[in-house]
Chains A and B, each alone.
Chain A
Amino acid sequence: MHKQVKISKGLDINLKGKAAHKLAEAPRSKMYVVKPTEFYGINPRLSVKIGDHVNAGDPLFYHKYLDRIKFTSPVSGTIEDIVRGERRKILKILISPDATDTFKTFKVDKPEHLNKEQILDLLLESGLFATIKQRPYDLIAHPDDQPKAIFISTYDTAPMGVDYTFALKNKMKAFETGIKAITKLTDGKVYLIVNGNSVSDFDKLKDVEIVKAFGPHPVGNVSISIEKFEPISKGDRVWTINPADVALIGEFFETGQYNPVRNVALSGSKVKEPMYYTIKAGADLSEFLKDKLKDDDVRIISGNVLTGSNISKDKFLNFYDNQISVIPLGKRPRFMGWMPFLGENRKSFYNFGPTKKQLDLDASLYGEERAFVMNEEFEAVMPLDIYPVHLLKAALLGDVEKMEQLGILEVAPEDFALIDYINSSKIEAQDLIRKGLDIMQVEIG
């Protein structure tokens, strides 16, 4: 009998433009990027300079405080530019790719034949260790920690979420290999969260605890299952990995090459034909997207519409993302837009619950930020055993003790994404939680 997780609080947002089950190869981009800023909590130290030639898998930079954590090039090519921001902070490393990739070869073996240290060293060396995140704090894990469990969610319940049963269909063998490597990293269990309402290849996997998930978003978020099966206490470490990254780890152990190619869901109401494309992490998408969008008045997001990053200006696929969402921008004033029941904004999904009809939402804020007023709505989309209003207020004040007592160690910003969406005071809940976690990490570590 499989384990189960069931929630009723939450909200499924049914958006127009879910990617169809079709896969095509995207052409090779003219530029690739690695953005140190994506790796939250990492202080980059460069290993390359402009003009250097790198192979795919060669290190570009490493973590200043833990030089074993390396970040490597997704392609072979020449370092075109290193863009710095304020106080010379490194923002982007641009790589002009060779016509075809040459790879650095890592000495790999079947994960069954390797021990934990060997696997960790290979992951650290190849840059793939960056795919492993830890709770609490939702940061890149520390290789010396002993995680009490590892969670992988194949059930993306976010709007237009990636269907990993399709995205990993041609990578199932690699996925299995990846699981074999990951199970070596913990003395505890590896949990695999799957869609409870359907049967897939994931259900047959061995060496993992299958968790069948039922209910609305955010049931696919790992926090829900972590709370139920391996609740985090002070000092605990739980690791989380995205299933697409598990497949990348598997491919790495099969080939000895670092080649972060993902089956990316191009979705959203502004996409002519939403479907899956094979794209390499860090790829410049400007050429690729040119003929695929309905018009230019759009918000382009690397990731999903709740937690992704805005890449409308700088169109590179982020390291971690398996999805590109393109929605209408909606930047225009609306005459009495607040009027209920009338006019173009009459719909309020919070008010009338989830809808069967597919919605076409834009990136408008629909109002201005206000004090906390409608506090009950926060609880309606928070399935964790946490009082969201109290936690958010503690985070707002930066009260370390209160935040810990109220359970901040058990959450990630993504668990508050629905609160961003529904709350009428336009409070930036994810941002507050991120800041709260940062304070906690500095204070407690």
Chain B
Amino acid sequence: MKVLEKFFNKYEHLFLEGGKYEKYRPAYMAMYTFMFTPDETTKKGAHIRDAVDLKRVMFTVVLALIPATIFGMWNVGYQYFTHAGLDFTNMEAFMYGFWKVLPMIIVSYVVGLGIEFYFAVLRGHEVNEGYLVSGLLIPLIMPVTIPLWILAVSVAFAVIIGKEVFGGTGMNIVNPALTARAFAFFAYPTFMSGNEVWIPKPENADAYSGETILGALGQGHHIAYTWKDMFIGTIPGSIGETSVIMILIGALLLLATKVASWRIMVSGFLGAAVMAFIFNLWGANTLMQLPWWQHLLVGGLAFGVVFMATDPVTAAQTRKGKWIYGFLIGMFAILIRVFNPAYPEGVMLAILLLNVVAPTIDYYIVQANIKKRMKRFEKQTA
């Protein structure tokens, strides 16, 4: 550690005021503070501070994503080999997926962090840690066959339009990762939906059905998967979204560390369950007939509710607001899923919609607090 500290100290003068690379100080500080938490002590306010900082918060989310990521890699291989009709070991399946997914993660981080650093230097502010999470989320909600250049363009769009134009982490209205997905979905639909994008195409197969469960149900097809497949995640889909059990392991970590709001998670699943149950009673098409609890297992719902809806910046800010926000995300996700089979991924649109509505929800809740206070003020002066 001493060697590393010396290394940083040796070059620090270049980045100080008057130094040769003064402009690039935010980039230097981002590197330094990643390796070392600085020796700053409290200057005003409370003299003691919790050891939690934004880096730790963001890294905890990354940790929570690891089970879903590893399973997703394995599932890419598993889907490929089974659809190709080949024999394989679990290790082979994982390694196959690993080499497919790793380049996506690298592209996402390099492009995203590159832009973040650029803006930090441009504006002379610190590099915010938000992209540590977005950088992993984006590949996990994409189909594995997406060309890397589309991924790169989507990331650039999400970081610049979704975040930096609003002022960076903490100021953005919509979730950057979902912005990336929505961009890719509408700009390059052929790479983002259909039957063939979810599984790398086997060379020896002319026709294979790699459609997702929601895709199949939307076409009125019957599905060959059991609820266990859906829960464990051995089904086609975006890389990280298929395994409900792995997502729940991540959710447990997020809840134990209080990094994500349990209110949003609970109300999100509740809203989806209620909506799906209502559709069960209606039962007009195959999607409506899917048992309500299976609706919670398929598609991106679990992943969206656990990792995207709970993004503290774009969610509702008040506790009461979080209940409403989460519940509506669940409801709209199922509603869009059932009524518009062209967009079986209702959860993405539902979260983006509620991201936009969240400030309004908060407004009314805060307004109620203000009204109560103003009433008391009036009583006093009357």
Where the two chains meet, the residues of A that have a C-beta atom closer than 8 Å to any C-beta of B are 13, 15, 159, 231, 233-236, 299, 301, 305-308, 310, 325, 327, 329-340, 345-352, 361-368, 370-377, 379-380, 385-387, 389-390, 405-407, 417-418, 420-426, 428-431
Contact residues in A for B257 (Cβ distance below 8 Å): 340, 348, 351-352
The answer to whether A362 touches B48, judged by C-beta atoms less than 8 angstroms apart, is: yes
Interface centre among B4, B48, B168 (most CB of A within 10 A): B48
The answer to whether A299 touches B381, judged by C-beta atoms less than 8 angstroms apart, is: no
Closest 5 CB pairs of A and B: A367-B53, A337-B37, A371-B170, A338-B55, A420-B46
Partner of A405, one of B45, B52, B60, B370: B370
With contacts A364-B40, A370-B170, A371-B169 taken as known, whether A338 is within 8 angstroms of B47 at the C-beta atoms is no
Q: Tell me the minimal C-beta distance from B200 to chain A in angstroms.
A: 35
Q: Given A333-B36, A336-B35, A371-B167, 17 more contacts at CB 8 Å?
A: A234-B380, A299-B47, A305-B48, A330-B41, A338-B37, A340-B60, A349-B50, A365-B40, A365-B41, A367-B37, A367-B53, A368-B53, A370-B128, A371-B171, A406-B369, A421-B46, A426-B49
Q: Tell me the minimal C-beta distance from B62 to chain A in angstroms.
A: 10
The answer to whether A364 touches B54, judged by C-beta atoms less than 8 angstroms apart, is: no
Q: List 6 A-B contacts (CB under 8 A).
A: A333-B38, A335-B4, A345-B37, A351-B52, A366-B37, A366-B52
Chain A residue nearest to B168 (CB atoms) is A371
Taking the complex as formed, is B13 at the interface, i.e. its CB lies under 8 A from any CB of chain A?
no
With contacts A368-B126, A373-B54, A374-B312 taken as known, whether A421 is within 8 angstroms of B36 at the C-beta atoms is no
Partner of B39, one of A333, A339, A379, A429: A333
The answer to whether B50 touches A366, judged by C-beta atoms less than 8 angstroms apart, is: yes
Taking the complex as formed, is B10 at the interface, i.e. its CB lies under 8 A from any CB of chain A?
no
Taking the complex as formed, is B91 at the interface, i.e. its CB lies under 8 A from any CB of chain A?
no
Cβ proximity bits B72-89 to A, threshold 8 Å, 1 near / 0 not: 000000000000000000
Chain B residue nearest to A387 (CB atoms) is B366
Chain B residue nearest to A413 (CB atoms) is B45
Q: Tell me the minimal C-beta distance from A2 to chain B in angstroms.
A: 25
Taking the complex as formed, is B63 at the interface, i.e. its CB lies under 8 A from any CB of chain A?
yes
Q: Tell me the minimal C-beta distance from A387 to chain B in angstroms.
A: 5
Interface centre among B55, B56, B167, B362 (most CB of A within 10 A): B56
Interface centre among A350, A371, A385, A406 (most CB of B within 10 A): A371
Chain B residue nearest to A306 (CB atoms) is B46
Chain B residue nearest to A307 (CB atoms) is B46
Whole-angstrom distance between the alpha carbons of A361 and B4 in the complex? 26
Chain B residue nearest to A11 (CB atoms) is B50
The answer to whether B380 touches A233, judged by C-beta atoms less than 8 angstroms apart, is: yes
Taking CB atoms and an 8 Å cut-off, the chain B residues in 77-106 that contact chain A are none
Interface centre among B1, B44, B63, B126 (most CB of A within 10 A): B44
Q: Tell me the minimal C-beta distance from A207 to chain B in angstroms.
A: 26
Taking the complex as formed, is B123 at the interface, i.e. its CB lies under 8 A from any CB of chain A?
no
The answer to whether B317 touches A375, judged by C-beta atoms less than 8 angstroms apart, is: yes
Taking the complex as formed, is B261 at the interface, i.e. its CB lies under 8 A from any CB of chain A?
yes
Whole-angstrom distance between the alpha carbons of A231 and B379 in the complex? 12
Q: Tell me the minimal C-beta distance from A439 to chain B in angstroms.
A: 17
The answer to whether A407 touches B373, judged by C-beta atoms less than 8 angstroms apart, is: yes
Taking the complex as formed, is B143 at the interface, i.e. its CB lies under 8 A from any CB of chain A?
no
The answer to whether B37 touches A350, judged by C-beta atoms less than 8 angstroms apart, is: no
Chain A residue nearest to B170 (CB atoms) is A371
Contact residues in B for A370 (Cβ distance below 8 Å): 53-54, 126, 128-129, 169-170
Cβ proximity bits B343-382 to A, threshold 8 Å, 1 near / 0 not: 0000000000000000000100010011011101101110
The answer to whether B59 touches A376, judged by C-beta atoms less than 8 angstroms apart, is: no
Partner of B59, one of A15, A338, A389, A418: A338
Chain A residue nearest to B313 (CB atoms) is A373
Whole-angstrom distance between the alpha carbons of A379 and B236 in the complex? 40
Contact residues in A for B60 (Cβ distance below 8 Å): 340
Taking the complex as formed, is B271 at the interface, i.e. its CB lies under 8 A from any CB of chain A?
no
Whole-angstrom distance between the alpha carbons of A423 and B52 in the complex? 8
Contact residues in B for A347 (Cβ distance below 8 Å): 51
Taking the complex as formed, is B33 at the interface, i.e. its CB lies under 8 A from any CB of chain A?
yes
The answer to whether B46 touches A368, judged by C-beta atoms less than 8 angstroms apart, is: no
Q: Tell me the minimal C-beta distance from A330 to chain B in angstroms.
A: 7
Taking the complex as formed, is B318 at the interface, i.e. its CB lies under 8 A from any CB of chain A?
yes
Contact residues in B for A308 (Cβ distance below 8 Å): 47
The answer to whether B130 touches A373, judged by C-beta atoms less than 8 angstroms apart, is: yes
Contact residues in A for B34 (Cβ distance below 8 Å): 336
Contact residues in A for B42 (Cβ distance below 8 Å): 363-365
Q: Tell me the minimal C-beta distance from A102 to chain B in angstroms.
A: 38
Chain A residue nearest to B375 (CB atoms) is A233
Taking the complex as formed, is B258 at the interface, i.e. its CB lies under 8 A from any CB of chain A?
yes
Contact residues in B for A361 (Cβ distance below 8 Å): 48
Contact residues in B for A420 (Cβ distance below 8 Å): 45-46, 49
Whole-angstrom distance between the alpha carbons of A405 and B370 in the complex? 5
Taking the complex as formed, is B337 at the interface, i.e. its CB lies under 8 A from any CB of chain A?
no
Chain A residue nearest to B169 (CB atoms) is A371
Contact residues in B for A418 (Cβ distance below 8 Å): 46
The answer to whether A331 touches B39, judged by C-beta atoms less than 8 angstroms apart, is: yes
Cβ proximity bits B16-39 to A, threshold 8 Å, 1 near / 0 not: 000000000000000001111111
Contact residues in A for B170 (Cβ distance below 8 Å): 370-373, 425
Whole-angstrom distance between the alpha carbons of A236 and B167 in the complex? 40
Q: Tell me the minimal C-beta distance from A7 to chain B in angstroms.
A: 15
The answer to whether B46 touches A350, judged by C-beta atoms less than 8 angstroms apart, is: no
The answer to whether A363 touches B47, judged by C-beta atoms less than 8 angstroms apart, is: yes
Chain B residue nearest to A370 (CB atoms) is B54
The answer to whether A363 touches B45, judged by C-beta atoms less than 8 angstroms apart, is: no
Partner of A431, one of B1, B4, B45, B47: B45
